[in-house]
Structure 1
Amino acid sequence: MPSKRSTRLNEIPNTCFDYIIGGGGTSGCVLASRLASNSSCSVLLVEAGRDSGLAPDVLVPGKYVVQLSKDKRGLWELPTVPQRHLNGRVIEFVRGRQLGGSSAINYMALARGPAADYDAWAELVGDHSWRWENIIPLIKDLEDFDPRLPPCFEGYARPEPGLHGKGGPLKIGFGHEMVPGVETFFQACVAAGIPVCLDNNSGNPVGVGLAQFNVRDGERSYAANAFLSDATRSNLVVVTDTECDRVVIQDKKVVGVELFDKVHGNSGYVACRKEVVICAGTLATPKLLMLSGIGPKTLLEKHGIPVQIDLPACGQNMLDHSILTLEYEVDNRIPAHNQIFLDPELLRAAEAQYAQDRSGPLAMYGSSGSVAFPKIPAMYDSKEFQELGTATRKFLLEPTRPSAEIWLGSGPAAYSGPIGRKDSYITHEMLLQNNLSRGSVTVASRDPRALPVIDPNFLSHPFDARIAIETVRMALKVAQTPAYRDTIRKMVHGPRGMDFFSDKADSIPERVLLDFIRENLGQGYHSVGTCRMGRRGDPAAVVDNRFRVVGVEGLRVADLSVCPILTSNHTQINAYLIGEVCARHLMREERAVGRAAKL
Structure 2
Amino acid sequence: MTVQKKYDFIIVGAGPAGCALARNLALARQKPSVLLLEAGGDNADRELRVDGKRWITYMKEEMNWGYKTSPQEHCGDREVDYSRGKGLGGSSAINFGVYTVGARDDYDEWARLTGDDSFAWSKMQGRFKRLESFHGETPDGIEKKHANPKPEDHGTDGPLHVGFAKQWEKDIVPMLDAVAEAGFPLNPDHNSGNPIGMAAMINSCYNGLRSTASDLLTGVPDNLTVLTVSPARRLLLEGDRAVGVETRDNKYWASKEVILSAGALNSPKILMHSGIGPSDQLTKHNISVVKDVPIIGQGLRDHMFCPLVYVAKDGHTDRAEFYGNQAAMDEALAQWKADGTGPWTKFACGGCIGYFKIPGLAETKEFQALPPAEKAYLEKETVPHYELITHCPIHWLMPNFPSDSLNASSVLVFYANAQARGEVTLQSSDPDAPLQFDPKFLGTEFDRRVAIGSLREALKLVRHESYAKDTKAMLAGPSGDSDEELLAYWRQTISSSWHMTGTVKMGKKEDEDAAVDSDFRFKGIEGLRVADMSVVPVLASCHVQSVAYVTGITCAEKLIAQYGLA
Specify the TM-score bucket, using the shorter chain as the normaliser: over 0.9
Structure 2 distance, partners of 1:199, 1:455, is 35
Are positions 1:45 and 2:28 aligned together? no
Structure 1 distance, partners of 2:360, 2:337, is 49
Structure 1 distance, partners of 2:398, 2:31, is 53
- Cross-structure match for 2:257: 275
Are positions 1:364 and 2:353 aligned together? no
- Cross-structure match for 2:68: 79
User: Is 2:263–2:532's contact at 8 Å kept on the other side of the alignment?
Assistant: yes
Task: Decide which of 268, 291, 299 is 1:286's aligned counterpart.
Answer: 268
Structure 2 distance, partners of 1:109, 1:46, is 26
- Cross-structure match for 1:193: 183
User: Is 1:337–1:410's contact at 8 Å kept on the other side of the alignment?
Assistant: no
Structure 2 distance, partners of 1:279, 1:418, is 37
Superposition CA RMSD, Å: 1.8
Counting only pairs closer than 5 Å after superposition, residues 16-95 of structure 1 correspond to structure 2 as: 16-38=6-28, 39-53=30-44, 55-69=45-59, 71-95=60-84
1:331 Cα deviation (Å)? Answer: 2.1
Q: Cα–Cα, structure 1 residues 335 and 192, in superposed 2: closer, same or farther, change >3 Å? A: closer
Task: Decide which of 214, 235, 248 is 2:236's aligned counterpart.
Answer: 248
User: Is 2:166–2:346's contact at 8 Å kept on the other side of the alignment?
Assistant: yes
- Cross-structure match for 2:470: 487
Structure 1 distance, partners of 2:47, 2:477, is 32
Structure 2 distance, partners of 1:146, 1:64, is 19
1:418 Cα deviation (Å)? Answer: 4.9
Letter in 2 for 1:223: A
User: Is 2:55–2:393's contact at 8 Å kept on the other side of the alignment?
Assistant: no
In structure 1, list runs of 5 or more residues that go unmatched: 1-8, 261-266, 499-507, 595-599
Q: Cα–Cα, structure 1 residues 418 and 461, in superposed 2: closer, same or farther, change >3 Å? A: closer
SS in 2 for 1:256: strand
Structure 2 distance, partners of 1:543, 1:179, is 45
- Cross-structure match for 2:526: 553
- Cross-structure match for 2:459: 476
Deviations 1:180-220 (CA, angstroms, capped at 9, x unpaired): 32223212322332111112111111111112122222111
SS in 2 for 1:77: coil
Task: Decide which of 445, 449, 453 is 1:466's aligned counterpart.
Answer: 449
Q: TM-score, normalised by structure 1?
A: 0.91
User: Is 1:107–1:366's contact at 8 Å kept on the other side of the alignment?
Assistant: no
Structure 1 distance, partners of 2:298, 2:135, is 40
Structure 2 distance, partners of 1:117, 1:418, is 37
Are positions 1:303 and 2:292 aligned together? no
- Cross-structure match for 2:538: 565
Structure 2 distance, partners of 1:285, 1:365, is 36
User: Is 1:82–1:90's contact at 8 Å kept on the other side of the alignment?
Assistant: yes
SS in 2 for 1:92: coil
Q: Cα–Cα, structure 1 residues 412 and 585, in superposed 2: closer, same or farther, change >3 Å? A: same
- Cross-structure match for 2:402: 419
- Cross-structure match for 1:382: 364
1:366 Cα deviation (Å)? Answer: 4.5
Counting only pairs closer than 5 Å after superposition, residues 120-269 of structure 1 correspond to structure 2 as: 120-155=109-144, 156-225=146-215, 227-230=216-219, 233-260=221-248, 267-269=249-251
Task: Decide which of 364, 374, 381 is 1:392's aligned counterpart.
Answer: 374
Q: Cα–Cα, structure 1 residues 229 and 487, in superposed 2: closer, same or farther, change >3 Å? A: same
Q: Cα–Cα, structure 1 residues 339 and 126, in superposed 2: closer, same or farther, change >3 Å? A: farther
1:49 Cα deviation (Å)? Answer: 1.0
Deviations 1:152-187 (CA, angstroms, capped at 9, x unpaired): 113211112211111111112112111232223212
Deviations 1:299-318 (CA, angstroms, capped at 9, x unpaired): 11121111111111111111
Structure 2 distance, partners of 1:568, 1:338, is 33
User: Is 1:336–1:410's contact at 8 Å kept on the other side of the alignment?
Assistant: no
Letter in 1 for 2:389: W
User: Is 2:54–2:210's contact at 8 Å kept on the other side of the alignment?
Assistant: no
1:553 Cα deviation (Å)? Answer: 0.5
Question: Between the two proteins, what is the percent identity of the paired residues?
Answer: 35
Structure 2 distance, partners of 1:379, 1:519, is 24
Structure 2 distance, partners of 1:179, 1:97, is 31
Structure 1 distance, partners of 2:493, 2:31, is 51
Q: TM-score, normalised by structure 2?
A: 0.96
Are positions 1:589 and 2:532 aligned together? no
1:339 Cα deviation (Å)? Answer: 5.8
Letter in 1 for 2:517: D
Structure 1 distance, partners of 2:198, 2:253, is 51
User: Is 1:104–1:223's contact at 8 Å kept on the other side of the alignment?
Assistant: yes
Counting only pairs closer than 5 Å after superposition, residues 489-568 of structure 1 correspond to structure 2 as: 489-496=472-479, 498=480, 508-568=481-541
- Cross-structure match for 2:85: 96
Structure 1 distance, partners of 2:352, 2:142, is 11
Structure 1 distance, partners of 2:516, 2:320, is 44
Q: Cα–Cα, structure 1 residues 96 and 178, in superposed 2: closer, same or farther, change >3 Å? A: same
User: Is 1:339–1:421's contact at 8 Å kept on the other side of the alignment?
Assistant: no
User: Is 2:348–2:391's contact at 8 Å kept on the other side of the alignment?
Assistant: no
SS in 2 for 1:511: helix
Q: Cα–Cα, structure 1 residues 338 and 17, in superposed 2: closer, same or farther, change >3 Å? A: farther
Structure 2 distance, partners of 1:57, 1:533, is 38
Q: Cα–Cα, structure 1 residues 334 and 348, in superposed 2: closer, same or farther, change >3 Å? A: farther
In structure 2, list runs of 5 or more residues that go unmatched: none
Structure 2 distance, partners of 1:66, 1:418, is 15
1:40 Cα deviation (Å)? Answer: 2.4
Q: Cα–Cα, structure 1 residues 584 and 438, in superposed 2: closer, same or farther, change >3 Å? A: same
1:51 Cα deviation (Å)? Answer: 0.6
User: Is 2:52–2:208's contact at 8 Å kept on the other side of the alignment?
Assistant: no
Structure 1 residues 149-158 or 337-346, which shifts more? 337-346
Q: Cα–Cα, structure 1 residues 526 and 20, in superposed 2: closer, same or farther, change >3 Å? A: same
Task: Decide which of 329, 338, 344 is 1:347's aligned counterpart.
Answer: 329
Structure 2 distance, partners of 1:338, 1:455, is 38
Structure 1 residues 330-339 or 426-435, which shifts more? 330-339
Structure 1 distance, partners of 2:105, 2:401, is 45
Letter in 2 for 1:95: R
SS in 1 for 2:66: strand
Deviations 1:245-298 (CA, angstroms, capped at 9, x unpaired): 0001112011111112xxxxxx21112111110000000001111111111122
Q: Cα–Cα, structure 1 residues 411 and 367, in superposed 2: closer, same or farther, change >3 Å? A: closer
User: Is 1:191–1:478's contact at 8 Å kept on the other side of the alignment?
Assistant: no
